[in-house]
């Protein structure tokens, strides 16, 4: 007998079952009942560009109702903490404070303060948020004779900027990357991220960068420290396996992948790193958290 052609539904089910067995609803509730704190990515989880994703306001209402500690941790280095607080307020989410936000820019500034004295000369490829944070941390932003080149997402990147960064690194400047994300989700689709710029500068300079953001430990340790949370009682929510999920699992943090950002069924099935939970989006995640009460 000829087997039936696989349908889209059976293909999705097969993809979800590749790797570790998906927990039953009862087991899922048991695991989520242990969660006392949440670390959540933003781009691809809460929104795409300026477009909020379904369940945004309900997600925060759920965390506030459950008195659950949370940190929003993003590899996007272009904005300040207050930029994100203001964006959330514009989207109808109130009650979020700057202390709830960790970015690759704030993590980079913290890292540099442990390695370099105030007044260290830095050339920045990046947005206004990164520049403001580094300035507030006591570093001097310069165009020439820099001791360090710090590279994040730069939506105004030019050949001349890339040329200057390359020459500074070839002249002995240290090379720091805020995060390795090669792309990030925009309303139109995936667009180049900081990792794409890092790849350009590395290819031209012959020098690999020191990476600060996810999946490196610093971002997660900063978030856990802010939450004063046990990794085993913390859930990382992200849309990217190679950074959000991989980095969190390395520290023993439970992980939830939402399928509203970078990953799709094919990339999930192919990845050797598997999340503890997979949700189509925030509404399904919210329901699972409520079911765990």
Q: Which of 43, 154, 181, 244 is catalytic?
A: 43
**Calpha distance 149→164 (Å, rounded):** 10
Instruction: Mark whether 293 is an active-site residue.
Output: no
- Among candidate residues 41, 154, 181, 239, the one labeled active-site is 41
Output phi, psi for 39, to 5 deg: -110, 125
Q: How far is the C-alpha of 223 from the C-alpha of 215, rounded, in Å? A: 13
Q: Which two tokens stand for residue 113?
A: 């303060």
Q: Does the active-site annotation cover 41?
A: yes
Q: Which residues are catalytic, by number? A: 41, 43
């Amino acid at each position: 007998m000829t087997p039936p052609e696989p349908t889209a539904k059976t293909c999705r089910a097969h993809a979800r079952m590749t790797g570790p067995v998906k927990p039953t609803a009862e087991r899922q509730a048991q695991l989520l009942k242990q969660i006392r704190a949440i670390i959540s990515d933003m781009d691809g989880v809460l929104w795409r560009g300026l477009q909020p994703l379904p369940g945004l306001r309900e997600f925060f209402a759920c965390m506030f109702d459950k008195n659950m500690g949370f940190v929003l941790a993003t590899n996007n280095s272009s904005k300040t903490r207050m930029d994100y607080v203001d964006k959330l307020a514009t989207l109808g989410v109130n009650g979020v404070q700057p202390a709830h936000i960790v970015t690759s820019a704030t993590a980079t500034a913290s890292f540099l303060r442990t390695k370099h004295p105030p007044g260290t000369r830095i050339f920045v490829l990046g947005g206004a948020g990164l520049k403001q944070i580094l300035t507030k941390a006591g570093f001097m932003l310069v165009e020439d004779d820099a001791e360090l080149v710090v590279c994040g997402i730069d939506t105004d990147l030019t050949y001349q900027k890339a040329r200057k960064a390359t020459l500074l690194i070839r002249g002995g400047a240290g090379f720091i990357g805020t995060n390795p994300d090669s792309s990030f989700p925009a309303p139109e689709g995936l667009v180049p991220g900081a990792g794409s710029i890092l790849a350009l500068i590395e290819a031209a300079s012959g020098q690999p960068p020191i990476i600060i953001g996810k999946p490196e430990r610093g971002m997660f340790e900063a978030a856990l420290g802010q939450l004063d949370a046990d990794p085993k009682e913390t859930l990382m929510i992200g849309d990217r396996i190679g950074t959000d999920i991989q980095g969190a699992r390395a520290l023993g943090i439970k992980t939830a992948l939402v399928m509203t950002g970078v990953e799709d069924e094919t990339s999930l099935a192919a990845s050797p790193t598997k999340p503890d939970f997979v949700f189509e989006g925030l509404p399904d995640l919210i329901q699972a958290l409520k079911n765990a009460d």
